Amino acid sequence: MKVFETPTEELKRKPAAFTDRITTDGRFGRAAEPGRYRLVINRACPWAHRVVITRRLMGLEGAISLAVTDPVQEIIADDAHWVFTSETGSPGGKDPVLGIHALREAYLARDPDYTGGVSVPALVDVTTGHLATNDFGRLTLDLATEWGGPAREGAPELYPAALRDEIDALCEDIYRDVNNGVYRAGFAPDQARYDAAVTALFARLDALEERLATRRYLVGDTITEADIRLFPTLVRFDSVYHGHFKCNIRKLTEYPALWAYARDLFQTPGFGDTTHFDHIRTHYYYVHTAINPTRVIAAGPDPRGWLTEHHRAELGGAPFGAGTAPGPVPADERVPPLG
């Protein structure tokens, strides 16, 4: 479904079109080689945000370069495209490394007959200009487990083997009811399907509120893949999903444990320092003309609340376990400070 069209049926996400895996030993044909791949994202996109968080936590900024598209998609041949502009660090409207204006060019370099949608995140092979993968579900797992060589010293264990079954089960619930649930509510074609989506969303948020009332993180005593998958939806919730997607039974700020948990993560290196609220609001309110035909961009809420005390350390645990926090954000990747 194109985001500019009025929805006529329930939103259903198609599987990723290109799912090559990049691994330590190259057993699937592509090896985790520093400098070979460029990660293309949009800072408004929650699916891309989770990959950026993982890349930063693992300290892979020097191994995998980053390209940021404009928050407003460009209409080319009656379709919306992720494009590079001077406003996002691409002079002349072309990515300085890949030499392309629209991400679709990397898709077509991989498959000239491709006619499907174009999504971020996308990992592009710099040596060929071909898209390697747009599989957002697998990308974070492989960055966490298959890039150990180039990863920084002190990188956390984000997908520990002993906890994978619990993480996977929880992530499935979070994806269905929360990550994708806000979209199913926002793009619901009728009242019945909106009601079903929004009811499931808030039932899951209620369950997560109860879970997080007595534990600092979702699984175990440290940050894991589960937290990385939940955070991008939570950080966008009051800014866009509550009003723009009609997910307005409660605000995130009305959940004591969830709101404190989200602030705890936001104030942890890798989370808040990869969040760009201006891009988030601009993209959602400007692009989704079926929902917001005037393209008026909401001004709030005031993001400085994300910096208030959360007291979550009192529950124990440590964000990086036996590891350490990542270093400073590279100068060319910094997002605007709050306030």
In terms of pLDDT, which residue wins out, 6 or 253?
253
Residue 78: pLDDT band by 50, 70, 90 thresholds? confident
Instruction: Report the candidate in 323, 328, 281 with the shortest Cα–Cα distance to residue 302.
Output: 281
Residue 338 lies in a domain: no
CATH code of residue 286 = 1.20.1050.10
Place of tokens 């009656």: 78
**Is 90 in the same domain as 129?**
yes
Give me the phi and psi of 290, to 5 degrees please: -65, -30
**Is 238 in the same domain as 189?**
yes
Q: Could you give the CA distance from residue 209 to residue 257 in angstroms, rounded to a whole number?
A: 6
Q: Could you give the CA distance from residue 289 to residue 29 in angstroms, rounded to a whole number?
A: 41
Number of domains present in the structure of the chain:
2
For residue 103, pLDDT beyond 80: yes
Which helix or strand (DSSP H or E) is residue 204 part of? helix 191-212
Once rounded to an integer, what is the mean pLDDT over residues 100-107? 97
Say whether 22 sits in a helix, a strand or coil: strand
Q: Could you give the CA distance from residue 306 to residue 318 in angstroms, rounded to a whole number?
A: 20
The whole-number pLDDT of residue 214 equals 97
Q: Could you give the CA distance from residue 216 to residue 198 in angstroms, rounded to a whole number?
A: 26
Residue 13 lies in a domain: no
Q: Could you give the CA distance from residue 313 to residue 204 in angstroms, rounded to a whole number?
A: 24
**Is 202 in the same domain as 256?**
yes
Sheet of strand 64-68, all strands in order from the earlier edge strand to the far edge: 64-68, 37-41, 122-125, 130-133
Residue 15: pLDDT band by 50, 70, 90 thresholds? confident
For residue 21, pLDDT beyond 90: yes
Once rounded to an integer, what is the mean pLDDT over residues 105-111? 97
Q: Could you give the CA distance from residue 334 to residue 336 in angstroms, rounded to a whole number?
A: 7
**Is 35 in the same domain as 65?**
yes
For residue 5, pLDDT beyond 60: no
Once rounded to an integer, what is the mean pLDDT over residues 287-301? 96
Residue 14 lies in a domain: no
255 contacts 211 by C-beta, under 8 angstroms: no
**Is 292 in the same domain as 173?**
yes
Residue 155 lies in a domain: no
> How big is the CA angle at 42 (ends 38 and 45), to the nearest 5 degrees?
125
The whole-number pLDDT of residue 77 equals 82
Once rounded to an integer, what is the mean pLDDT over residues 324-330? 97
Instruction: Report the candidate in 43, 39, 57, 24 with the shortest Cα–Cα distance to residue 227.
Output: 57
Residue 77 lies in a domain: yes
Residue 17: pLDDT band by 50, 70, 90 thresholds? confident
The whole-number pLDDT of residue 94 equals 97
Q: Which of 107, 159, 183, 194 is catalytic?
A: 183
Q: What is the pLDDT of residues 49-62, one digit of tens each?
A: 999 999 999 999 99
For residue 167, pLDDT beyond 80: yes
Residue 50 lies in a domain: yes
39 bridge partner residues: 66, 123
51 contacts 121 by C-beta, under 8 angstroms: yes
Report which residue type is found at 53: I
For residue 307, pLDDT beyond 90: yes
For residue 3, pLDDT beyond 50: no
Q: What is the DSSP letter of 175?
A: I
Residue 315 lies in a domain: yes
45 is catalytic: yes
Q: What is the DSSP letter of 213?
A: T
Quickly count: other Cβ atoms within 10 Å of residue 193's Cβ: 17
- Integer angstrom CA distances of residue 246 from 43, 139, 278: 22, 30, 20
Q: Which of 37, 45, 261, 285 is catalytic?
A: 45
Q: What is the maximum alpha-carbon separation in the chain?
A: 55
Percent of the chain's residues with pLDDT above 70: 96
Residues present in the chain in total: 339
Residue 14: pLDDT band by 50, 70, 90 thresholds? confident
Which helix or strand (DSSP H or E) is residue 287 part of? helix 277-287
**Is 133 in the same domain as 178?**
no
**Is 220 in the same domain as 173?**
yes
306 contacts 263 by C-beta, under 8 angstroms: yes
Once rounded to an integer, what is the mean pLDDT over residues 311-326? 97
The residue out of 87, 118, 145 marking a domain boundary is: 145
For residue 246, the enclosing domain spans: 162-333
Residue 46 lies in a domain: yes
For residue 1, pLDDT beyond 70: no
The residue out of 94, 120, 145 marking a domain boundary is: 145
Q: What is the pLDDT of residues 199-214, one digit of tens each?
A: 999 999 999 999 999 9
CATH code of residue 71 = 3.40.30.10
**Is 116 in the same domain as 184?**
no
For residue 262, pLDDT beyond 50: yes
The whole-number pLDDT of residue 13 equals 67
171 is catalytic: no
**Is 258 in the same domain as 126?**
no
The residue out of 145, 172, 201 marking a domain boundary is: 145
The whole-number pLDDT of residue 79 equals 87
**Is 166 in the same domain as 192?**
yes
**Is 118 in the same domain as 168?**
no
**Is 197 in the same domain as 91?**
no
The whole-number pLDDT of residue 272 equals 98
